[in-house]
Structure 1
Amino acid sequence: MTATAAAAGTRRRSARARDEFDPTPWPVALLCGAGGGACALLAFPPYDLWMLLPVAIALLGAGLLVRSLWLAALVSLLWGLALFVPLTAWASTYAGATPWIALGVFEALYIVVFGLLARTVMVRRGLCLTSAIVVSALWVALEALRSSAPWGGLPWGASAFALADSPLLHLAPWIGIAGLGFVVALLGQLLLFGALAVLGRRRRGFTGFSGVWPFAIAVAAVLATVVVPHPVNRAPVNRPTMTVAAIQGSMSAIDPVSYTMPEDVFANHLAVTRDVLERTDQNGIQLDLIVWPEDSTGWDPRQDPQLARQLTGVAAEADAPLLVGTQVRVGEEERLNQSVLLTPEHTSPYAYSKRHPVPFGEYIPMRGLFSRLSDKVDLVSLDMIPGEEVGVMDLDALGQGQDRVGILICFEIAYDSLVHDVVEGGAEVIVVQSNNALFGDSHEAIQQLAQAKVMAVMSGRSVVHISTVGHSAIYGPTGRRIDFIDHWEQGALLADVPLRTGITPAVAAGPWIAIGLSAVGAVGLLAALGGERRALARTTTRRRRRRGD
């Protein structure tokens, strides 16, 4: 053997000694990407196989352990497309296929960014506890970014919303939405470490059958959350509940061509309300609040005396205020999405304007540009402008009771910052008014209801989620379902809803949980970039062959 060959062999052995795991073959990596995204989809409603979400993240991690950066990006893209395209299929109901696919692709790009950053950490730091923490923190950072940018972001598909039926939800009031995302990603990293060891693809740390330990730790961690207590959450003195009737009148299907509300929506809700009043009168039940969903009255009833008389007449008959959802014109080109309170005294002392309109659904950003790309933007003829005030309705100050009611409209329930605002503003219960008829028979309604349950537990507040066509439900502060109406049914949620005044640790921390975890991810990434590449050998087989190996 020549000296050159011996030196080359020494270099090869040294490189292999530095290898911590064998790279994933490219066909397997692509399958991990597509299969992992499919597992993530099955974790969300209506499938509710939440335990597949850590598996999905583990498969993404396995697919990233390849030598090619471009292949890692493709794996990440496949994962994102397999999740977000079917998860957001509801967008095609009124927008059509092209905007829906564009939304799915755009959301998938966030997974590509995460994948490239996570691969950098795993390749440079190796598969160890610190790299698992950094990768999980990066997952939180990308979910936080996706939920806030651009145009306010879209948190649909955030990890926490797959956990509505998981014991991990017990952690929500302690660590918030961002903390749940971190826990899920960390479980995924543990599963990845264990799988690589058991399959014989890891060379250091846990190897062989010792790889069952990461599996055992992951399972034990999930089981331990079953006994996590809910934070102490006080009920108001002498009035622990309020009696609420939330009306789901249902309606005919919305025409996806004209995008207009059916004419029967008001009449249906009025008829169901009168049925509820007969029932409460017969049973001696005194209502504290009646709630109609978003868009249940069409345009502003305060501008229509006949409509207003019917609504305040119902409030007078019930001797309880009525909260309705309506649209309010602002000039010739804009509108507000409002919740308006109507009283038995024939007044309307309070209105909340939606603070987070949905881009492309309720307003068109850069309308001039996007109108050249699709004529579907013309379906949104009036751009919705955001309100400025937090939706906390003090019925005591309004002379309509003693309760403080937080108000959110439709997609706002998906934004934890808006939930924090109403709780910190003094809300003892949260009302969510929605119009899921816009999305037909898609899974949007049941996905949104899962968000309501997660936010109820996180905030320590009961959530009354009422839709024009369902799904509608009332959840208690610990996530217990109190009442429910299925999709496309007429009916009412009628219950004594628990009130609470305490602040959970998650709400008290506000955005700092997400900020802190994101900072951990950023610092860990920078440290990895400044260190030596450890996990994979630096040279490819082709380059070694050129050097005579």
Structure 2
Amino acid sequence: MTATTRAASTRAGARRARDEFDPTPWPAALVCGIAGGGAALLAFPPYGMWMLLPVSLTLLGAGLLVRSVWVAILVSLAWGAAFFIPLTAWANTYAGTAPWVALGVFEALYIVLFGLLARTVMLRRGLCLTSAVVVSALWVGVETLRSHVPWGGLPWGASAFALADSPLLNLGPWIGMAGLAFVVALLGQLLLHGVLSLLGRRHRGLVGFAGVWPLALAVGAILATMVVPHPPNPAPQDRGTMTVAGIQGSMEKIDPATMTMPDDVFENHLAVTRETIEQTRAEGRQLDLIVWPEDSTGYDPRQDPRMSDQIGSAAADAGAPVLIGTQAAVGETQRLNQSVLFAPDGSTPYVYSKRHPVPFGEYIPYRDFFRTLSDKVDLVPRDMIAGDEVGVMDLEALDQGRHGVGVLICFEIAYDNLVGDVVRDGAEVVVVQSNNALFGDSHEAIQQLAEAKVMAVVSGRSVVHVSTVGHSAIFTPTGRRLDFVDHWEQGAVLADVPLRTGITPAVAAGPWIAVGLCALGLVGFLAALTGRRRALAPLPSRRERNRS
């Protein structure tokens, strides 16, 4: 070998040593984006193929490994649109097609943000363990941002909510929503590293069959979570249970043109309540609490003596308070979404006002501007305002035992900060009142029920989820389902619900798990910007192209 040949070989070897992987051709990258978003959708209810969520992030990562940043943006947008538009199809029921698609595209923009950040890290740092950790932390950061910004955010489609039937959920009470998102993203990165190695697209580090190790590690990690114990309850175990009945009275379908509650909603819930009281009396059981769903009275029964008397009579007959859901007018243009407790003596000793109204569903931000885009905004004639008190009621004053009951309304169950608030304020059990009739036959109801199960495990509290038309269910702190009523059926969920007072590590940590992971992602991204190394293999020279 001549000196010139050796020098050329040395230069080529040095250049190859700096190369990490071959770029993804742009047509394949776009396919990865679309397929990845579709795989993410299948990971969520009603499909429930949770194992596809890490795969979807693997496909997204592969699609980002392109030379053109514009192609990477298109890949990210395609992934987000393929996921969020069908996932939020329930919005089409009341908002119409254009606002629904706009919501899906807006949520997809967060995936574009993640794609740009993740691509920068992978291209500058290469495919190594540190880049995998940073990219996973960036996923947590963007998901946290999406869940809280703007207007309080929308955590629908958060990674943890795909894990309702996954062994990974056993990690939930330890690491919370943010930690679960990090684990899912890290599994996706491990799969990406392994697959690229097996396909021969990596040129240093784990190459060839060495790529089996990341795949085996990912599978082994999932299997290991099957034996992760739930946190011990440091409080005395004699808290026992309380007997709760959740009433699903059902109703006729809501007219999407007017969004008016059907007239039969109150009578149906009253009838099912009386049937449930008779059932428990025949079984020799004493009810501690009866829960009606959100909007279960049609309008505020405190303004109608007849309705108040009937609810109070049912409470007296059961010997247990009835928690109903209603709306209360505030002035001429506003309203409150409230839970009202009717005691057996007919009084209403407790009222909770929803703290997190849903933008565009319960109130219209910048109403005049958005009216120019769609007349659907006028279907919400009164803007809902937020309550300012955490929803925890103590039933001790009603001689129902010393039970702290946390109250959340509808979409509030999707926000881990709201769930954490009621637990830290003394809730031993959490009830969720929802009106899923607004979303017709869409998948919104089953998606929300999965959120309730995940939050039961993360918070270490039983969750009684009650809907006007379903799905309704009761979950224990370990995620076991005690009772269930299906969509558009009439009935009640009834169980002796376990009470807990201990605080899970996830709840005790509050926002700090998310804050820590977000900080890790930000620091890792900034560190990647300071490096000059490029991980993409160089384009072949003109001579090499001609030779080929």
Identify the residue that residue 358 of structure 1 maps to in structure 2: 358
Q: How does 1:183-198 map to 2 (within 5 A)?
A: 183-198=183-198
2:88 aligned with 1:83: no
Q: Helix, strand or coil: the match of 1:89? A: coil
Counterpart of 2:524 in structure 1: which amino acid? G
Kindly indicate whether the alpha-carbon contact (under 8 Å) linking 2:263 and 2:298 is maintained by their aligned counterparts in 1: no
Identify the residue that residue 496 of structure 1 maps to in structure 2: 496
Deviations 1:256-294 (A, max 9, x none): 001110111001101111111111111111100000000
Question: Structure 1: how far apart are the matches of 2:543 and 2:21?
Answer: 18
Deviation at 1:534, TM superposition (A): 2.8
Deviation at 1:9, TM superposition (A): 9.1
Q: How does 1:136-215 map to 2 (within 5 A)?
A: 136-215=136-215
Does the C-alpha gap of structure 1 residues 5 and 416 become closer, same or farther in structure 2, counting only changes over 3 Å? Answer: same
Identify the residue that residue 271 of structure 2 maps to in structure 1: 271
Deviation at 1:306, TM superposition (A): 1.1
Does the C-alpha gap of structure 1 residues 199 and 103 become closer, same or farther in structure 2, counting only changes over 3 Å? Answer: same
Counterpart of 1:265 in structure 2: which amino acid? V
Counterpart of 1:499 in structure 2: which amino acid? L
Question: Structure 1: how far apart are the matches of 2:214 and 2:513?
Answer: 25
Question: Structure 1: how far apart are the matches of 2:55 and 2:499?
Answer: 37
Counterpart of 1:403 in structure 2: which amino acid? H
Identify the residue that residue 39 of structure 2 maps to in structure 1: 39
Q: Helix, strand or coil: the match of 2:173? A: helix
Deviations 1:302-337 (A, max 9, x none): 121111001001000101000000000000000000
Deviation at 1:134, TM superposition (A): 0.2
Kindly indicate whether the alpha-carbon contact (under 8 Å) linking 1:349 and 1:398 is maintained by their aligned counterparts in 2: no
Moved more, 414-423 or 9-18: 9-18
Identify the residue that residue 431 of structure 2 maps to in structure 1: 431
Deviation at 1:478, TM superposition (A): 0.4
Question: Structure 1: how far apart are the matches of 2:502 and 2:440?
Answer: 38
Identity across matched positions, percent: 74
Question: Structure 2: how far apart are the matches of 1:238 and 1:536?
Answer: 61
Q: Helix, strand or coil: the match of 1:147? A: helix
Deviations 1:62-87 (A, max 9, x none): 00001111111110111001100000
Identify the residue that residue 256 of structure 1 maps to in structure 2: 256
Deviation at 1:235, TM superposition (A): 6.2
Kindly indicate whether the alpha-carbon contact (under 8 Å) linking 2:137 and 2:521 is maintained by their aligned counterparts in 1: yes
Identify the residue that residue 480 of structure 1 maps to in structure 2: 480
Does the C-alpha gap of structure 1 residues 272 and 126 become closer, same or farther in structure 2, counting only changes over 3 Å? Answer: same
Kindly indicate whether the alpha-carbon contact (under 8 Å) linking 1:343 and 1:400 is maintained by their aligned counterparts in 2: no
Question: Structure 2: how far apart are the matches of 1:115 and 1:256?
Answer: 37
Q: How does 1:35-74 map to 2 (within 5 A)?
A: 35-74=35-74
Deviation at 1:48, TM superposition (A): 0.4
Q: Helix, strand or coil: the match of 1:386? A: coil
Q: Helix, strand or coil: the match of 2:320? A: coil
2:243 aligned with 1:243: yes
Counterpart of 1:341 in structure 2: which amino acid? L
Question: Structure 2: how far apart are the matches of 1:500 and 1:543?
Answer: 70
Deviations 1:392-441 (A, max 9, x none): 00111455432110000000000000000000000000000000000000
Identify the residue that residue 367 of structure 1 maps to in structure 2: 367
Identify the residue that residue 324 of structure 2 maps to in structure 1: 324
Deviation at 1:219, TM superposition (A): 0.4
Identify the residue that residue 522 of structure 1 maps to in structure 2: 522
Counterpart of 1:335 in structure 2: which amino acid? R
Identify the residue that residue 388 of structure 2 maps to in structure 1: 388
Identify the residue that residue 102 of structure 1 maps to in structure 2: 102
Q: Helix, strand or coil: the match of 2:280? A: helix
Kindly indicate whether the alpha-carbon contact (under 8 Å) linking 2:355 and 2:386 is maintained by their aligned counterparts in 1: yes
Deviations 1:443-498 (A, max 9, x none): 00000000000000000000000000001100001000000010000000111000
Moved more, 389-398 or 70-79: 389-398
Does the C-alpha gap of structure 1 residues 274 and 544 become closer, same or farther in structure 2, counting only changes over 3 Å? Answer: farther
Counterpart of 2:341 in structure 1: which amino acid? L
Q: Helix, strand or coil: the match of 1:335? A: strand
Q: Helix, strand or coil: the match of 1:323? A: strand
Deviation at 1:544, TM superposition (A): 9.4
Kindly indicate whether the alpha-carbon contact (under 8 Å) linking 1:197 and 1:207 is maintained by their aligned counterparts in 2: yes
Q: Helix, strand or coil: the match of 1:396? A: helix
2:457 aligned with 1:457: yes
Q: Helix, strand or coil: the match of 2:317? A: helix
Q: How does 1:217-236 map to 2 (within 5 A)?
A: 217-233=217-233
Q: How does 1:4-43 map to 2 (within 5 A)?
A: 14-43=14-43
Question: Structure 2: how far apart are the matches of 1:526 and 1:238?
Answer: 51
2:387 aligned with 1:421: no
Question: Structure 1: how far apart are the matches of 2:544 and 2:477?
Answer: 64
Counterpart of 2:442 in structure 1: which amino acid? S
Question: Structure 1: how far apart are the matches of 2:444 and 2:5?
Answer: 63
Question: Structure 1: how far apart are the matches of 2:387 and 2:535?
Answer: 51
Q: Please list every run of 5 or more consecutive structure 2 residues that lacks an aligned counterpart in the other structure.
A: none
Deviation at 1:111, TM superposition (A): 0.3
Does the C-alpha gap of structure 1 residues 5 and 259 become closer, same or farther in structure 2, counting only changes over 3 Å? Answer: farther
Q: Helix, strand or coil: the match of 2:445? A: helix
Question: Structure 2: how far apart are the matches of 1:311 and 1:340?
Answer: 11
Question: Structure 1: how far apart are the matches of 2:458 and 2:58?
Answer: 26
Question: Structure 2: how far apart are the matches of 1:175 and 1:205?
Answer: 30
Deviation at 1:16, TM superposition (A): 3.9
Question: Structure 2: how far apart are the matches of 1:544 and 1:409?
Answer: 67
Question: Structure 2: how far apart are the matches of 1:15 and 1:116?
Answer: 26
Question: Structure 2: how far apart are the matches of 1:420 and 1:69?
Answer: 39
Question: Structure 1: how far apart are the matches of 2:395 and 2:542?
Answer: 74
TM (norm. structure 1) is 0.96
Identify the residue that residue 113 of structure 2 maps to in structure 1: 113
Counterpart of 2:378 in structure 1: which amino acid? D
Question: Structure 1: how far apart are the matches of 2:542 and 2:82?
Answer: 35
Question: Structure 1: how far apart are the matches of 2:168 and 2:157?
Answer: 17
Moved more, 515-524 or 392-401: 392-401
Q: Helix, strand or coil: the match of 1:256? A: coil
Question: Structure 1: how far apart are the matches of 2:162 and 2:492?
Answer: 27
Counterpart of 2:125 in structure 1: which amino acid? R
Counterpart of 2:268 in structure 1: which amino acid? N
Identify the residue that residue 376 of structure 1 maps to in structure 2: 376
Kindly indicate whether the alpha-carbon contact (under 8 Å) linking 2:239 and 2:500 is maintained by their aligned counterparts in 1: no
Question: Structure 1: how far apart are the matches of 2:296 and 2:435?
Answer: 8
Q: Helix, strand or coil: the match of 1:165? A: coil
Counterpart of 1:383 in structure 2: which amino acid? D
Off by >3 Å, runs of 4+ in structure 1: 3-17, 234-239, 397-401, 539-546
Deviations 1:348-394 (A, max 9, x none): 01000000000000000011110111000000010000000000001
Question: Structure 1: how far apart are the matches of 2:276 and 2:210?
Answer: 62
Question: Structure 1: how far apart are the matches of 2:106 and 2:47?
Answer: 24
Kindly indicate whether the alpha-carbon contact (under 8 Å) linking 2:266 and 2:296 is maintained by their aligned counterparts in 1: yes
Counterpart of 1:85 in structure 2: which amino acid? I
Does the C-alpha gap of structure 1 residues 316 and 491 become closer, same or farther in structure 2, counting only changes over 3 Å? Answer: same
Identify the residue that residue 402 of structure 1 maps to in structure 2: 402
TM (norm. structure 2) is 0.96
Counterpart of 1:427 in structure 2: which amino acid? A
Question: Structure 2: how far apart are the matches of 1:399 and 1:375?
Answer: 50
Q: Helix, strand or coil: the match of 1:340? A: strand
